[in-house]
Amino acid sequence: MADLYRIEGPRDLATLGLEDLSNRANHSSCEWGEKLGIMRPTPSVKIRMEHLGSDDRRIRIERVEG
């Protein structure tokens, strides 16, 4: 799991060692994944969670090809 909330650019990404996660034969998750830019592996899955009020939530799962 990687949390990229505080990442501000490619230089910050380069110091995290994310390539080690993506080179393994397993799955990894990334919060604030839009900050990966061109480093985002393809295909990937985007999960969006939305609070609808009270105890209601909407979860959308989308395959992203490239």
Segments making up each domain of the chain, as ranges: 2-64
For residue range 21-47, list pLDDT tens digits in order: 666 556 778 888 888 887 787 888 999
* C-beta of residue 42 within 8 angstroms of C-beta of residue 66: yes
pLDDT of residue 22: 62
pTM over 0.75: no
The encoded tokens of residue 42 equal 């393809």
What's the chain's average pLDDT? 85
Helices (H), the chain: 10-14, 18-22
Task: Tell me if the bond preceding 10 is cis, omega within 30° of 0.
Answer: no
Residue 26: the pLDDT is 67
